[in-house]
């Protein structure tokens, strides 16, 4: 279909930029908006796949999501006969203000130790620690993987970015298109913090947000029951004394778990 049809439908909210096989197409008339959308169509003439991408980046994506949330826009804008709509990629990011105590040296050590942690405790094959003029960047997995993770400093803050594609977006896209946004957000947040906890060292102040999330959400016995199977092999000889010790031990474990 003509991608300019899509552009005209989005013109109420965005300034569209249309490309066909990476070549800019004729613009769409209308007043310029604060937010932009890129519409890229591939015809197969250059060996690319055949189809159309509608790309909302950065603040434009946040604005588009807000339109869906507030029901100022709906999916009818992007529904066409005999066309399938799917979610190609989702970007999640947390920006942590960089405190005065967080020096470049401590941040670089955090990234180096996180890289070692990934190598020792995961099956991840692609880990890259790059030097840039503004500091180091840790990359986990390639950009075309279903999960691509990056940690770096920018504008006096530390950014933790997770890009989801392929299988990961398929797992949640139905909730998005059906406006079940509570479930959609819940699943994304769980995946974001779970994966962050897997790839980052937890003994640095940069990961306090991850530990706080785990305490709040995994401290609930519904999700993370108290594991006492290691007590099964302990023989209680002096029953009265041992039962009292066991009772105090359980009290202590529950206290630690809820702290």
Quote the CA–CA distance of 256 and 259 in Å, as a whole number: 5
Q: Is the pLDDT of residue 184 over 90?
A: yes
Q: What is the mean pLDDT of residues 176-204?
A: 93
Q: Which of 94, 258, 92, 72 is nearest to 179 (CA)?
A: 72
Interval 8-44: pLDDT, tens? 999 999 999 999 998 998 766 667 889 999 999 999 8
Q: Is the pLDDT of residue 155 over 90?
A: no
Q: What is the mean pLDDT of residues 147-159?
A: 92
Quote the CA–CA distance of 214 and 13 in Å, as a whole number: 38
Highest mean pLDDT, choosing among 69-83, 165-179, 204-218, 219-233: 165-179
- Mapping DSSP to helix (H, G, I), strand (E, B) and coil, where does residue 210 land? helix
Highest mean pLDDT, choosing among 7-11, 79-83, 132-136: 7-11
Pairing of β 36-42 and β 15-20: parallel
Q: Is the pLDDT of residue 224 over 70?
A: no
C-alpha distances in Å from residue 211, one per residue of 121, 137, 187, 208? 18, 22, 18, 5
Phi, psi values for residue 91, rounded to 5°? -110, 130
Q: Strand locations in 117-222, DSSP E?
A: 127-132, 135-140, 147-154, 157-165
**Mean pLDDT, all residues of the chain:** 86
**What does the pLDDT read at residue 165?**
96
C-alpha distances in Å from residue 91, one per residue of 80, 88, 107, 162? 25, 10, 23, 6
**What does the pLDDT read at residue 140?**
97
CA 56 from chain center: how many Å?
16
Across the beta sheet with 89-97, the strand order is 89-97, 157-165, 147-154, 135-140, 127-132
Q: Which of 46, 41, 93 is nearest to 65 (CA)?
A: 93
Q: Is the pLDDT of residue 68 over 80?
A: yes
Quote the CA–CA distance of 205 and 192 in Å, as a whole number: 18
Contacts of 153 (CB under 8 A, 6+ apart): 98, 104, 107, 134, 135, 159
Q: Is the pLDDT of residue 223 over 60?
A: no
Quote the CA–CA distance of 237 and 203 in Å, as a whole number: 40
Interval 225-243: pLDDT, tens? 555 554 554 555 556 667 7
Contacts of 119 (CB under 8 A, 6+ apart): 127
Whether the predicted model's global pTM rises above the 0.85 cut: no
Choice among 123-132, 133-142, 219-228 with the minimum mean pLDDT: 219-228
Domains of the chain, residue spans: 1-85, 89-225, 229-258
Q: Is the pLDDT of residue 152 over 60?
A: yes
Pairing of β 23-24 and β 147-154: unpaired
**What does the pLDDT read at residue 201?**
92
Q: Is the pLDDT of residue 88 over 80?
A: yes
Model confidence at 188, pLDDT cuts 50, 70, 90, reads very high
């Amino acid at each position: 279909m003509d991608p300019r049809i899509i552009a005209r439908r989005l013109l109420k909210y965005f300034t569209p930029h249309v490309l066909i096989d990476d070549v800019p197409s004729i613009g769409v008339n209308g007043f310029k908006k604060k937010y932009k959308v890129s519409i890229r169509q591939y015809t197969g003439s250059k060996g690319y796949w055949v189809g159309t991408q509608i790309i909302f980046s950065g603040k434009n994506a946040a604005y588009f999501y807000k339109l869906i949330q507030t029901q100022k826009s709906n999916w009818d804008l992007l529904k066409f006969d005999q066309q399938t709509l799917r979610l190609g990629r989702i970007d999640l990011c947390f920006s942590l203000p960089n405190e005065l105590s967080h020096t470049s040296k401590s941040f670089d050590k955090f990234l180096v130790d996180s890289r070692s942690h990934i190598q020792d405790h995961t099956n991840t094959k692609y880990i890259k620690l790059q030097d840039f003029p503004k500091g180091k960047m840790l990359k986990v997995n390639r950009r075309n993987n279903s999960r691509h993770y990056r940690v770096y400093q920018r504008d006096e803050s530390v950014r933790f970015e997770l890009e989801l594609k392929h299988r990961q977006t398929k797992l949640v896209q139905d909730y998005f298109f059906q406006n079940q946004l509570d479930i959609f957000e819940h699943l994304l947040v769980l995946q974001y913090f779970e994966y962050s906890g897997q790839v980052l060292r937890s003994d640095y102040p940069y990961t306090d947000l991850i530990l706080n999330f785990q305490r709040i959400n995994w401290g609930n016995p519904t999700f993370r029951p108290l594991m006492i199977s290691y007590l099964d092999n302990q023989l209680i000889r002096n029953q009265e004394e041992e039962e009292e010790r066991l009772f105090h031990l359980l009290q202590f474990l529950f206290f630690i778990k809820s702290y």
